[in-house]
Amino acid sequence: MHDLPKSFVHIRLELAREPGHPIGDSEHGYDILAPLLADGHIDGDLATKNRDKCRVRRFRSGEEDAIGKLLRGPGGRWYIDYDDTRSDDDEAGFRFAQERFVVGEYVSIKENDGEMHTFQVMRVDEL
């Protein structure tokens, strides 16, 4: 991690309250390694230049962790790619270009089950 640009951070997302999870779920979430601007938005230009370094770990209780990349696609949409040989496993970051990744904020991800889930930003740590 010593070769990462200074603005790269570790972002921890955990499932927010939703039907079936009235207090959320700290065992369902994402660890994201990505560059942020000072205002908490993803630095799209730096992420594109360092696309192999923008990593994601999805964790869910009772499942093996899934490791992927956070990528910016056509039209500036963000998605998580777990296998670059297929697209049916991709997960969409809903409005990631507009969302701020700061502690306490909420972001949504359309997971591989086709459902949109909301996650709370629990941590943003400098590396």
Residues 6+ apart with CB under 8 A from 83: 68, 89
Domain ranges of the chain: 8-126
pLDDT, tens digit only, all 127 positions of the chain: 568 889 999 999 999 999 999 999 999 999 999 999 999 999 999 999 999 999 999 999 999 999 999 999 888 899 999 998 888 889 999 999 999 999 999 999 999 889 999 999 999 999 9
Determine the pLDDT at residue 10: 98
Phi/psi region, residue 76 (left: phi>0; alpha: psi -120 to 50; beta: rest), is left
Determine the pLDDT at residue 122: 98
Determine the pLDDT at residue 126: 93
Amino acid at 59: F
